[in-house]
Structure 1
Amino acid sequence: MKMRGTQDAAFARVVAEHGAMLARFAASFERNRHAREDLVQDILLAVWQALPAFRGDASLKTYLIGVAHRRCATHVMREVAQPRHEELDEEWVDGQPGPEALAGLNQQQARLFAALRGLPVGQRQLVVLALEGLRYDEIADLLGITVGNVGVRLNRARAALKEQLEER
């Protein structure tokens, strides 16, 4: 029982320190508010399950983003495999600020998330990882590519993101 309490305390600290980052990561992959909330819960469950295996080989932040990245990739693959049916979201229908805006997200963040979701998944991953402050070597390790390739791909992704933002 003592182990469980220690794991719960560690998880509570992780959520307090990195929960917002994990929610932003999920928001970059899912536009629908309800599906995004489910994805955040899936990520948190995966983090809770993976936390005991953290050995400190990388920073905790990098480890958590790796867990979130794998969960989001699974989410995207599942969504691609399923027929497309989207319920109308209140945010989309009325154009008024939604719950995210009321919770502190400003219009620039909403524009950024919309533009990020307009990018291909590969570019989106790079930009999100860079926005979360990961170094090129950490991104390279996470994605299994070279540091130089990260730089090249990230430059292309930033250009595509800038183009998406200019269109909005």
Structure 2
Amino acid sequence: MVYYKNTVDREDNFQEIIYQLWKSYPSLKKRDSIGSWIYAVSINTSIARLKKVSRIEYRTTIPEMPDKDHFIDEISTNESLKLLLEAIYNLDALDRSIMLLYLEEKQYDEIAEIIGISKSNVGVRINRAKQSLKQHFKKNSYGRL
């Protein structure tokens, strides 16, 4: 839901993820870490699809900022969660993925395996994303959540 704001795009992406999982399952070597593999395929498929769509899409005007309010309203009525998701939505795709995994209490080494970067890079990106989120909250005068 963080990558695609409208329902149709989310459903299309979900179908693409299922297809990629089905297609690549025979080549899965570590069957004991299937959860991490599903995360990795899902994130990589979503990011690749975003890149592909942005390259192909012809634009006659500069696109407006997506309607985050509508997207956030779909998720929850919890105000703190809405504010956090709005802030995370403003991160780049890789940092967004890392922070969502971090919020799901995944360990750094598991995040590194899913995303395909080093464990130390995960730590650096999480710290930078936290700083970015803090700045976002200060700038928007949200105070403490």
Structure 2: gaps spanning 5 or more residues: none
TM-score, with normalisation over the residues of structure 1? 0.63
What is residue 48 of structure 2 aligned with on the other side?
74
Say which of 145, 155, 159 aligns to 2:131: 159
Deviation at 1:160, TM superposition (A): 1.5
Identical-residue share of aligned pairs (%): 28
Indicate yes or no: 2:136 matched with 1:136.
no
Amino acid of the structure 1 residue aligned with 2:2: S
Judged with a 3 Å threshold, the aligned counterparts in structure 2 of structure 1 residues 155 and 97 are, in CA distance, closer, same or farther, namely closer
Paired residues of 1:31 and 1:117 also in contact (CA < 8 A): no
CA RMSD of aligned residues (A): 3.0
Distance 1:157 1:133 in 2: 16
Q: How do residues 46-125 of structure 1 correspond to structure 2 at under 5 angstroms?
A: 46-56=20-30, 59-81=33-55, 82-83=57-58, 92=70, 97-98=73-74, 100-101=75-76, 106-125=78-97
CA distance in 2, matches of 1:140, 1:96: 28
- Quick one: distance in 1 between partners of 2:51 and 2:104? 23
Structure-1 separation of matches of 2:103 and 2:84: 11
Once the 2 structures are TM-superposed, how far is the Cα of residue 62 of structure 1 from its aligned partner? 0.5
| TM-score, with structure 2 as normaliser | 0.71
* Preserved contact between residue 20 and residue 45 of structure 2 (Cα < 8 Å): yes
Name the aligned partner's letter for residue 44 of structure 1: I
Amino acid at match of 1:71: T
Name the counterpart of 1:3: none
Distance 2:22 2:72 in 1: 35
Residue type of the partner of 1:65?
Answer: Y
Q: CA deviation at 1:33?
A: 2.5
